[in-house]
Amino acid sequence: MLRLTAYKGYYIRSGAMEAGPGWFTGFADITVEGSSPDAKVLERAVSGGKYDSAEKAAQAAEYRARQVVESLQPTWAPFTEPGFGRNDPPSKKR
């Protein structure tokens, strides 16, 4: 299960993987391209420990990713794309 959140102009994709029987470790990717599978990852963060649930591990990784975002330059790229905030899809350029 991947979770996508927005924070200060960046997207954080976080999730967890099993790190042993009953233990999980979290990971988070920071991008400006949202949930696209081809999104360029700017930074990565990990939970830094083992947790007894996947949700806790993913939350820990997201928390660390937010700390990383604090050190990055502000970006408004996701919010200035053509068509952002409109109900109709962006027009195609020819």
Instruction: Give the chain's domains with CATH numbers.
Output: 3-79 (3.30.160)
Tell me what pLDDT residue 94 has: 47
Q: Helix, strand, coil % (nearest 5) of the chain?
A: 20, 30, 45
Identify which has the larger pLDDT, 73 or 19. Answer: 19
Tell me what pLDDT residue 90 has: 52
The CA R_g of the chain, rounded to the nearest whole Å, is 15
The tens digit of pLDDT for each residue in 24-63 reads 999 999 998 877 778 899 999 999 889 999 999 999 999 9
Report pTM: 0.75
Handedness of CA 29, 38, 53, 7 (dihedral sign): positive
The tens digit of pLDDT for each residue in 63-91 reads 999 999 999 887 766 555 555 555 545 55
Phi-psi category of 48—alpha, beta or left, where left has phi over 0 and alpha has psi -120 to 50?
A: left
